[in-house]
Structure 1
Amino acid sequence: MGNQNPSAPSRVRSRIAGHDHPNRGGLIHDNSRHTARFTVIGNHLAQHADLSLLAIGLGTHIQSLPRGARIDIKTLAARFPEGVTRIAAALRELEKHGYLRRERLRIPGGRIVTRTVSCNQPGHSREANEPRPRRTPTPRPKALPAVPTPVTSALLHPATDLLAGLRRHDSRLLLSVTDTAHLAPGVAAWLERDVAPAEVRRALIDGLPTEPLHRPAALLAHRLTRHLPPPPPFRPPAPEPPVRHPLQNCDGCNRAFRAPEPGRCRDCRRHPAH
């Protein structure tokens, strides 16, 4: 047997009949079967009732591209003459109707990138054999440690001023409004315990590590709680001094005596004159 011609088509070109009536106007299909380099496009996209013609054409083009191809606006505008504005609008149409989906992923190194997913059938889940991207969970900010609570709010204002002034002693202690509001009750609790503001400041800034402070507010909250001094010792109120009445002249003997009002002294009241 002779050698087969490797360049010969694998199937004879055939006309798909059934609707090619010679006496009927309108569209007639002259189709050939594709055996390589073809893409299956659903009529739900090709004949979409709400998408613009540009969006349908762009969606068809995107579905024909290989995995990993760039489909950002700049790349598409360099490929087609419609321009950035019209291409961006067409992409928004496709995204609105589910033909495109954007996913934000964190890649090794911490950088976040946006990946665009093309959906050939909106509403259907991707095939089981499609490898799903591994998403690195975004670390949540750690909550600040709790701080002591003052008995009253009378000292919150001076406590806030003290915290705002820490940056003058150490530039690393520049606190946000949120951190200052969280720490102020702890400082007020110290001030309530008869600790002078200078002593509170020294307790917060003395002996700080020399390396960069990644969470200065958390460090200050820890110090406010761990080194909280005890309440001052109880001091009973001092007794009131005895009442000292003014001097009065006795109406009976004219002697001076102390009394709240003028009148007679004690002797004259005991032995009144007859």
Structure 2
Amino acid sequence: MDTQQNTALTRALAEVPGPLPARGVIHVVIPHTDRFTVVGNHLAQHPGLSTAAVGFAVRIQSLPQGTEIGVKALAARFPEGEKLIASALRELEDIGYLQRARIRLPDGRIVTRTVFCNQPAALLRPRKAAPHQPATWQAPSPAPPADRHPSPVPAPAPAPMPQPVPTLPLPPEPVPALAPTLQPAQVLAAAPQPEPAPAPAPELLPPLATTPECAPAPPPQQSAAPLFVPLVPPPTAPKPPPRPLPQPCELTPELHRAATALLADLRRHSPEFTLTKDDIQQLAPAVAAWLEREARPDTIRHVLTNDPPQPLRHPAKLLRHRLTVLLPPPLPGAHDLAVPVRRVTVTPFQTCDGCERAFRSPMPGRCRDCRTDHAQAAA
């Protein structure tokens, strides 16, 4: 009697269709009716995202539109720290689920706009253009006042898809200064007169509701929608071209022999650095550049073979990288290491032309007292 039985779980397991697995997780799926968020398996089982990034992606999807999802806002809402949240957001941004862009508002302020896409891979695929439906044009109804005219004007053969002509004309509506041009009898009567007919008269006939010409031309056929331009950047930025191997100023036979011997001797100290003959010939100029800069062979060997990755699949590529990136600068000369001497300018002694006393001055002349007495005597 002390062990409590969960009858609800037992009943739920009995309702699971099919035989239950002998091991592993058993899913009891109860459909949601409210307060749920749809999450794709491409996110829940993404191999390149950490569990924290997947969790924050689910939490961000469950938030309503307009909710702040910055690092500080999420740290105030959830128990995780700011460093973990910032790392998770960077992972989502690298994959493409999260985008952050700085935009300028009309008032001049710069803000950060954050966009979350639940399927970034779908943005990279072109969208299918909607099938274009031909536009069907109907003649305007005689109800609006703009289509009310005294009488219909006879028209040529009807165009395709005309609407039926109303049998009863609408009551006339006075049109100032333009009504006489709409009557065909008046136009024929005005022909014998010397006055020429006004030019805009033929232009006013198309608005009649009873003629097919009154309908404006159908809109032009829209071209197929262009392919969708993806807004999500590629997951990885393009890699820069590899740096060239260092070359010595002068590859003498002695330097080449010492470099090839050092590379061939690496397998004696580290068996995983067994190189082929072609690899030794390609890497020998770089080792010669190190020897030319007076690097000791033991130092070069230690730099090249220290702490290699495990397992080491491409020793030649690792040596090429280390020879290029870790190249030391040339040793300074004796004149480069000499401490510069500070020169002190000494003002020489001069003999006064008036009193024969010695005083310091860059130029010969009189001393200060003689210059003062001379100035007072001149005044």
TM-score class normalised by the smaller sequence: 0.3 to 0.5
